[in-house]
């Protein structure tokens, strides 16, 4: 089942993947690098999936957890570049923090909103 956290994480990861494509394309050139750029986007998409699957929604650990998961997922791309693209690897840690924090925050807001609606329904009935 796709929870709000997973949906949010995948969306944010996909959007950050587009930003990565633009940055990497600017650094290395777009011509002839489409497979590498697609792999970079797919890596950020997978980062969103992995972070979204974490069920712990404690926002105060999202920074550390996001950095660790972001770097772990980014290591796959970094390894395939022959350890040459350090910028994309380190950006993965930052993007992991962004994805985890926003997904945790979105999940918290959604839970509060659902709780508020259920309280209002109980009061009115």
* Predicted confidence band of residue 111 (pLDDT cuts 50, 70, 90): confident
Confidence of residue 5 (pLDDT cuts 50, 70, 90): confident
Domain ranges of the chain: 4-115
- Nearest Cα to Cα of residue 74 among 53, 106, 56, 50: 50
How far apart (Å, rounded) are the C-alpha atoms in residues 74 and 46?
A: 9
- What is the value of pTM for the model shown? 0.84
pLDDT in tens, 52-76: 998 776 777 889 999 999 999 999 9
Instruction: Give CA–CA dist 9/59, Å, rounded.
Output: 14
């Amino acid at each position: 089942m796709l929870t709000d956290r997973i949906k949010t994480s995948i969306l944010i990861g996909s959007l950050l993947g587009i930003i990565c494509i633009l940055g990497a394309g600017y650094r290395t050139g777009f011509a002839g690098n489409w497979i590498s750029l697609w792999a970079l986007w797919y890596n950020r998409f997978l980062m969103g999936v992995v972070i979204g699957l974490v069920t712990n929604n404690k926002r105060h650990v999202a920074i550390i957890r996001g950095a660790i998961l972001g770097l772990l997922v980014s290591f796959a791309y970094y390894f395939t570049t022959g350890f040459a693209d350090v910028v994309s690897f380190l950006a993965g840690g930052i993007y992991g923090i962004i994805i985890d924090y926003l997904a945790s925050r979105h999940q918290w807001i959604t839970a509060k909103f659902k709780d508020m609606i259920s309280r209002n329904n109980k009061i009115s009935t």
